[in-house]
A and B are shown apart, each in its own frame.
Chain A
Amino acid sequence: MLEDMSKSRVKKIHDYIQEEINKQCSKIMLDAEEKAQEIISEALTNAKSLYLEKINEIKNEFDKIKNRNITEAEFNAKQKILKRKNDLIYSIFDDVLNKLKQYMATDTYLKFLEKSLTEVALNVRSGEVEIVLCDSDTITSENMIKSLEEKINHKFNINISFRVSQEKIKATGGFIARHADGKISYDYTFETMLDKIKEPLRPVISKILFE
């Protein structure tokens, strides 16, 4: 009788604990399931964010590389065009120098001499000025210079004396004028004149050539 009672009590305790344990186990499994879902869900969210962030970074990186390459190529192209334009402009000045040789025996050259000597005379005003002609000039004579001297003195009422030097300069055309005191000289050789006007005339020549 007592043993039966004891068994019955033990069974009750067993059933009670079993039920509690079952509840506990279910809860543990449910929590684990929930936790597992949470971990996967978080991983999916992180993966999606990571994808968006990284793809954005990569796109930006390659956009920068692309833009840098294109900007560099455009800059180089502009430089190439600019250089070619400058080369063409400066080649015109070389052509002009060759063309100027043809003017040596013309009235135009005489007018150039008169104009240039007038500029010298008006700067110097009085005294002797030595005129050094170029070695290629076989046309201009002492008489021609003297005749221009007279014309200029008369026209501007000044007293200047041009003397043609025995010295010759190596140039395509034009002359160098030196004041007697040796302090002032004026270079009217074609080469120097072209050199002097190259830069100031560059925009105008560019316009004529390329527009």
Chain B
Amino acid sequence: MTAVSLIHMLKNIKEIESSLISDLNKTNAEANKKIEQAREKARKIIDDMMQKIEIERKEIQKNSEIEIRNKLIEIDITTQKILNEIEEKAKSNKDAAINFILKYIFGEINA
């Protein structure tokens, strides 16, 4: 092999190397892009989930408020019913209670 042909060969090899390195770099860039896209998609998955959670939070809050309001109305109705019953009972037993106290004061009974 002459020096000329050796130089020629090395030059060719150098060109090939450059071309192949370029291919490799392209592939690396493509791979990085794919990974970056996956990361972006992952961020979107989490963001979407956060939005979904927020929507559900509002729904849970709304349902809870409705439940509380209904329960408070129920308690109010029950309380009023009990108060009415109390008033009725007190009205019909008033004389018995007064007589009991009078008898107690006048020493006719001991409590």
Contact = CB atoms under 8 A, between A and B. Distances in A.
Nearest to A3: B5
B86 A39 contact: no
A66 B67 contact: yes
Interface in B8-35: 8-9, 12-13, 16-17, 20, 23-24, 27-28, 30-32, 34-35
Contact of A54 (B38, B53, B96): B53
B38 A37 contact: yes
Interface in B37-79: 37-39, 41-43, 45-46, 48-50, 52-53, 56-57, 60-61, 64, 67-68, 71-72, 75-76, 78-79
A29 B13 CA distance: 26
Interface stretch (A125-133, A157-165, A176-184, A200-208): A200-208
Interface string A1-42: 011011101100110011001001100110111011101101
Contacts of B35: 32, 35-36, 39
A190 B102 CA distance: 10
Contact of B38 (A40, A46, A63, A96): A40
Contact of B2 (A2, A7, A54, A58): A2
Given A25-B24, A92-B101, A84 B32 contact: no
Contacts, number: 193
Interface in A167-211: 190, 193-194, 197, 200-201, 204-205, 208-211
Name the prevailing secondary structure of the B interface residues. helix
Contacts of A59: 60
Nearest to B39: A39
Q: Interface residue tally of chain B, by bracket? A: 35 or more
Q: Interface residue tally of chain A, by bracket? A: 35 or more
Contact of B86 (A51, A77, A88, A204): A88
A47 to B, nearest CB: 4
Contacts of A84: 83, 86-87
5 contacts: A39-B35, A42-B42, A65-B64, A73-B72, A201-B101
Given A6-B9, A62-B61, 17 more contacts: A14-B16, A24-B27, A32-B32, A32-B34, A40-B41, A43-B41, A46-B46, A58-B61, A63-B64, A65-B64, A66-B71, A81-B79, A88-B87, A96-B105, A100-B102, A190-B105, A208-B96
Interface of A: 2-3, 5-7, 9-10, 13-14, 17-18, 21, 24-25, 28-29, 31-33, 35-37, 39-40, 42-44, 46-48, 50-51, 54-55, 58-59, 62-63, 65-66, 69-70, 73-74, 77, 80-81, 84-85, 88, 92-93, 95-96, 99-100, 103, 108, 111-112, 115, 190, 193-194, 197, 200-201, 204-205, 208-211
Interface of B: 1-2, 5-6, 8-9, 12-13, 16-17, 20, 23-24, 27-28, 30-32, 34-35, 37-39, 41-43, 45-46, 48-50, 52-53, 56-57, 60-61, 64, 67-68, 71-72, 75-76, 78-79, 82-83, 86-87, 89-90, 93-94, 96-98, 100-102, 104-107, 111
